[in-house]
């Protein structure tokens, strides 16, 4: 069994190694090749090109590397057309992988895409190209699977690895001890993002928010995990510029422990909101982009929400305070409300627990089983999600 895989960044490498291990349970002699990261390579993956060559963010950066990326993709197509693998699996990196999948599928090779692009949210016409490109779409979330079913794209909702790794009930006491937090102290975790542009826009407002919250409640402590040394220096510079009247502790990484120790999280929209949900933490989601980008996105977006907690719940369960509404006053009001309203927090934790239970499915094994079923169809082994499965992952009462 020869299995071809292409991943484009660290998150894909993490999914890739989990999938490799799960597939080896079914195909012990399987070989894996393509483009993978260090975790996959340590598991025996043969990478033709360093994964970092695909890890490009931003339109300008992509244009600067376009010819190189096209050349890499062309070589992969030519190689696998001459030496067909039993299945090709593209993990995320949709701009690179979708066209690669299309070429391979039209050559008679089975193709799988793992991690849906946000086609349900914007540029929805991409669904027609995806339908021609993949034999199976593996989604992390149920609402994504429902979207693909509407277009008759073979799909399986496999759940999320993060939901598998975090327990339903996590003890915050150990995390609070790490930061020596007193029993009577409340903690607000500030997370303005991991990219420089995000931090530049959001961090000053988050700092001002902390100052307002601190004036309202002097017994609140503020911690801010920095993604790396560069972000840490950037954050400290911004704190020095704002000069808040409250102390903000900048922590080296360890965002999960910071979130676990907190009573409320104020954070940028992104994957961290899912981790906050799984840790059952009240949160306020914010984001700011350029006015032009905001205007374009408002026209293109097909969803009422941008944060994963709200998308998964199918309703607003966490405030999304965005763009011109993202003021220190608005954010501080939302933070204070969640620090003080115990009934609201209890309801929120029940909703988050309900969602967590739906996402905790053993994602690696579920993805492997869906791929096995694609290669060896069996009515008994079929794992494709049906409409009732999708609807069961939401509850208006939760």
* pLDDT bucket at 395, cuts 50 / 70 / 90: very low
Under a CB-based contact definition with an 8 Å cutoff, are residues 220 and 213 in contact? yes
User: 38-63: per-residue pLDDT in tens?
Assistant: 999 999 999 998 887 775 544 444 45
- DSSP conformation class of 279: T
pLDDT at 398 over 50: no
Q: Stretch 288-296: mean pLDDT, rounded?
A: 79
Q: What percent of the chain has pLDDT over 90?
A: 73
What is d(CA 172, CA 132) in angstroms, rounded to the nearest whole number?
Answer: 47
Under a CB-based contact definition with an 8 Å cutoff, are residues 307 and 269 in contact? yes
Q: Per the structure block, which two tokens stand in for 358? A: 């739906």
What structural domains does the chain harbor? 2-159+361-388 (3.40.50.2000), 172-357 (3.40.50.2000)
Distances (CA, A) of 72 to 67, 96, 173, 259: 9, 10, 49, 40
* pLDDT bucket at 304, cuts 50 / 70 / 90: confident
Which pTM was predicted?
A: 0.82
pLDDT at residue 386, as a whole number: 45
Under a CB-based contact definition with an 8 Å cutoff, are residues 268 and 320 in contact? no
User: 326-363: per-residue pLDDT in tens?
Assistant: 999 999 999 999 999 989 889 999 999 999 999 999 99
pLDDT at residue 301, as a whole number: 67
pLDDT at residue 312, as a whole number: 93
pLDDT at 208 over 70: yes
pLDDT at 387 over 50: no
Which bin fits 308, alpha (ψ -120 to 50), beta or left (φ > 0)? alpha
pLDDT at residue 68, as a whole number: 81
pLDDT at residue 120, as a whole number: 67
Q: Stretch 295-323: mean pLDDT, rounded?
A: 86
pLDDT at 313 over 50: yes
Residue 46, SS3?
Answer: strand
Least reliable range by pLDDT among 231-240, 249-258, 352-361, 386-395: 386-395
Q: Stretch 172-200: mean pLDDT, rounded?
A: 92
pLDDT at residue 58, as a whole number: 40
pLDDT at 383 over 70: no
Mean pLDDT of the chain: 89
User: 4-23: per-residue pLDDT in tens?
Assistant: 999 988 888 999 999 999 99
User: 149-182: per-residue pLDDT in tens?
Assistant: 999 999 999 999 999 999 999 889 999 999 999 9
* pLDDT bucket at 125, cuts 50 / 70 / 90: confident
Full strand arrangement of the beta sheet holding 283-287: 248-252, 220-226, 186-191, 264-268, 283-287, 320-322
Q: Please report the sign of the dihedral spanned by the C-alpha atoms of residue 62, residue 65, residue 67, residue 72.
A: negative
pLDDT at residue 11, as a whole number: 82
* pLDDT bucket at 121, cuts 50 / 70 / 90: low
């Amino acid at each position: 069994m020869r299995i071809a895989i292409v991943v484009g960044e660290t998150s894909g490498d993490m999914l890739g190694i989990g999938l490799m291990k799960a597939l080896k349970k079914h195909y012990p002699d399987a070989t894996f090749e393509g483009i993978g990261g260090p975790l996959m390579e340590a598991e025996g993956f043969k990478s033709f090109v360093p994964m970092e060559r695909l890890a490009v963010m931003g339109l300008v950066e992509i244009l600067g590397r376009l010819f190189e990326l096209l050349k890499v993709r062309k070589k992969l197509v030519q190689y696998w057309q001459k030496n067909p693998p039993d299945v090709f699996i593209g993990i995320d990196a949709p701009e690179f992988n979708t066209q690669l999948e299309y070429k391979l599928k039209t050559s008679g090779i089975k193709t799988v895409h793992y991690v849906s692009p946000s086609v349900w949210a914007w540029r929805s016409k991409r669904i027609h190209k995806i339908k021609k490109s993949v034999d199976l779409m593996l989604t992390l979330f149920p609402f994504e699977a429902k979207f693909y079913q509407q277009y008759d794209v073979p799909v399986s909702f496999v759940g999320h690895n993060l939901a598998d790794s975090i327990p339903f009930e996590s003890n915050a006491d150990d995390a609070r001890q790490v930061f020596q937090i007193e029993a009577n102290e409340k903690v607000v975790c500030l997370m303005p993002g991991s990219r420089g542009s995000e931090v530049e826009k959001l961090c000053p407002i988050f700092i001002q928010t902390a100052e307002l919250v601190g004036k309202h409640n002097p017994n609140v402590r503020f911690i801010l995990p920095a993604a790396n040394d560069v972000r840490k220096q950037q954050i400290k510079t911004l704190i020095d510029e704002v000069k808040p009247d409250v102390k903000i502790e900048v922590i080296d990484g360890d965002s999960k422990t910071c979130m676990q120790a907190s009573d409320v999280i104020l954070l940028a929209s992104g994957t961290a909101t899912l981790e906050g949900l799984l840790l059952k933490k009240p949160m306020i989601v914010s984001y700011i982009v350029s006015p032009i980008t905001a205007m374009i996105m408002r026209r293109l977006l097909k969803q009422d929400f941008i944060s994963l907690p709200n998308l998964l719940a199918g309703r607003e369960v966490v405030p999304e305070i965005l763009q011109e509404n993202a003021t220190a006053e608005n954010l501080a009001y939302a933070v204070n409300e969640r620090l003080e309203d115990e009934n609201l927090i209890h309801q929120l934790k029940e909703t988050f627990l309900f969602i967590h239970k739906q996402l905790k499915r053993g994602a690696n094994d579920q993805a492997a089983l869906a791929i096995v079923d694609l290669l060896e169809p069996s009515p008994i082994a079929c794992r494709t999600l049906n409409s009732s499965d999708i609807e069961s992952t939401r509850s208006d009462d939760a």
